[in-house]
């Protein structure tokens, strides 16, 4: 941490000067970083948003991504690639996790999203089987999609 006319301070020095714990400073930094990334990803800053580098997709996942952009269904893509639907679902999860898409409504109805996210917010960190027992109408894939959306900050409880 430094200013244009001040020497660099360590987090420990800043914590002593500002009377915050190092943990609090770290949390401030991370929260500010996340806020800045969300702001840049919003597209409001056209030049800055172009410099965001997303993690690369695996080759087969990239093929799935291009097919999804062309409006192919998961079933069609699985048939084209001669793989199981579960494989394509894993690709979709990678695409969502890495921020290439955020179209959660394509995979889970809005009403189901709200019900699950309200529950999930109160029961985070449980095994997937626990959520499946509570929401047996949702597939494991749909549960994973919702968890990814919530943890990425793309989906929230109003």
Asked if 139 and 69 sit in the same domain, the reply is: yes
Residue holding tokens 């401030």?
Answer: 28
pTM of structure? 0.75
Residue 45 has pLDDT above 90, yes or no: no
Give Cα 80 to chain centroid, integer Å. Answer: 27
Asked if 124 and 71 sit in the same domain, the reply is: yes
Q: Distance between CA 145 and CA 127 in Å, rounded? A: 15
Residue 75 covered by a domain? yes
Residue 4 covered by a domain? no
Reported as a pLDDT band with limits 50, 70 and 90, residue 41 is: confident
Residue 2 covered by a domain? no
Asked if 45 and 67 sit in the same domain, the reply is: no
pLDDT digits (tens, 9 = 90+) for 96-133: 999 999 999 999 999 999 999 999 999 999 999 999 99
Query: Mean pLDDT for the chain?
Result: 91
Are 100 and 152 in contact by the 8 Å Cβ rule? The answer is no
Environment class of 62 (CB within 10 Å of its CB; exposed 0-12, middle 13-18, buried 19+) = middle
Residue holding tokens 């244009």?
Answer: 4
Full domain range(s) for residue 146: 59-152
Asked if 105 and 45 sit in the same domain, the reply is: no
Q: Give me the pLDDT at residue 139, please.
A: 98
Asked if 83 and 40 sit in the same domain, the reply is: no
Asked if 36 and 67 sit in the same domain, the reply is: no
Q: How many domains does the chain have?
A: 2
Q: Distance between CA 140 and CA 3 in Å, rounded? A: 49
Residue 5 covered by a domain? no
Mean pLDDT to the nearest integer, 61-75 = 98
């Amino acid at each position: 941490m430094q200013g244009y006319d001040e020497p660099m301070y360590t987090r420990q020095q800043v914590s002593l000067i500002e009377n915050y714990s190092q943990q609090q400073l770290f949390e401030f930094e991370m929260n500010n970083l996340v806020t800045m990334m969300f702001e840049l990803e919003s597209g409001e800053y056209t030049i800055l948003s172009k410099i965001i580098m997303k993690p690369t997709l695996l080759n087969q996942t990239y093929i799935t991504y291009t097919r999804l952009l062309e409006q192919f269904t998961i079933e069609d893509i699985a048939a084209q690639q001669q793989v199981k639907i579960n494989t394509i679902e894993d690709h979709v999860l990678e695409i969502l996790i890495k921020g290439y898409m955020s179209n959660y409504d394509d995979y889970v109805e809005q009403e189901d999203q709200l019900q699950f996210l309200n529950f999930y917010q109160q029961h985070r960190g449980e095994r997937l089987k626990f959520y499946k027992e509570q929401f047996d109408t949702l597939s494991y894939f749909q549960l994973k999609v919702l968890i990814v959306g919530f943890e990425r900050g793309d989906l929230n409880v109003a």
